[in-house]
Amino acid sequence: MATKNRTTVTMNHANQENVKNVKSSIIVPVNAKRAALGEISNKVNTLRGAQPIDRTSLLQKDKKVVISKRQAVKPNVSEKPVQVVQPVISVVAKIDNVSNAATISAISHSQKKRGIQSFSTDLLKFEDIDEQDKGNPVLVSIYTNDIHEYLRTLERKTPIVEGFLTGQEVTPKMRSVLVDWLIEVHQQFRLMQETLYLTVAIIDRFLQSFKTIDRKKLQLVGVAAMFIASKYEEMYSPDISDFVYITDQAYTKLDILEMELIIVKILDYSFGRPLPLHFLRRYSKAGKALPIHHTMAKYFLEQSLVHYEMCHYPPSLIAAAALYLAFLIIGNDEEDEGKDIWTDTLAYYSTYSKDDVLPAVRDIAAMIINAETSKYQAVRKKYVHVKYMKISIRPELKSPIMNAIAARSNETEL
């Protein structure tokens, strides 16, 4: 028992000695200060003390070069004299307003395409709507302008000519009946918005190129076009048997597959034509549109799908006209009264001036005025629901300004 106690005392004494030795090995200077940012491994200047380095004096010829004793300098006769570089004023201070230099280069590249000479002068006219998205890699704000420029080149490569049904057995009325029915099918299948726009685009491009379709196969063209658009846009596209059922067994699976092959060959496997919805989202962001404006513009666009006389407008132009009309009939906040509807920012990002948009605006207004008495009610019934803010029954659609625009009586006052 005594031996055990002596062992315990000896171990405690040894531990105390170890602690004393450890404590004594730590040397703490009395007046030393912790180096700034020392915890992130910055290199502290030990040769010149704590005094800041006079970097401008290093560029003067009369200053003597201080050589540390630790460094061994060997004279080299053949070495050329060091050229003294004059201090350069940093340009970063001038670019502090834009956080990413790559963004400036990307924007300037797209501006060269549009013929814009100076970025700084144009900042006074329009707003950089992608400024807040630079930290989001999904939105790729650096490439957004170039992407939309590419979409405009695609729509120019795949135009739809005005009056493309002239001389065909398929009439504009038959086309409107087909599209009105497809809108109901689109709702019943609960497909994405892009699927509907792509379906109508495929139908118009196909009828424009393949002029021998008779009226008995027109519905088959519409069903096959939606079948293709569903596989192109949807995550889970409807089965082909669903399209056979929706036609009340008028066509078989083989009929739909054969028509699909014909459409794909005629269009040369090209389904990347941009949709009005792509441009509308961009314009709504540029114009700071409220949900009511964006939804009303979508109502105008879907009504335009049904009417044959609106087919020839490019997707980017008709999207701009739809948003312009939505801004015009539904006023913004009281603070925005007196401001131009088509701002410099909208004109820049849409590449359309006010005069470019007005003809399509008048055609849309005339179409909406007659929507209540039209035979094609699928879009109007769709936008009666609360989900779409009951847009189709809003009183603004029957306002005097809408009648005036449709009658083209106040062309200069829009």
CB 249 within 8 A of CB 241: no
Same topology, domains 172-266 and 276-413? Answer is: yes
| Half-sphere exposure (Cβ direction) of 231: Cα atoms closer than 13 Å | 13
Q: How far apart are CA 166 and CA 162, in angstroms?
A: 9
Other Cβ atoms within 10 Å of 177 Cβ, number: 17
pLDDT of residue 44: 40
Domain boundaries, given as residue ranges, for the chain:
172-266, 276-413
Q: pTM for this one?
A: 0.70
Average pLDDT value over all residues in the chain: 78
Q: Which of 91, 128, 82 is nearest to 107 (CA)?
A: 128
Q: Quickly state the pLDDT bin for 339 (edges 50, 70, 90).
A: low
Instruction: CATH number for 172-266: choose from 3.10.180.10, 1.10.472.10, 3.30.420.40, 2.60.40.1180.
Output: 1.10.472.10
What digits encode the pLDDT tens for the residues 111-153?
Answer: 444 444 333 334 447 889 999 999 999 999 999 999 999 999 9
Identity at 230, one-letter amino acid code: S
For residue 265, the SS3 value is helix
The fold adopted by the segment(s) 276-413 is Cyclin A; domain 1 (1.10.472)
What digits encode the pLDDT tens for the residues 62-74?
Answer: 444 444 444 444 5
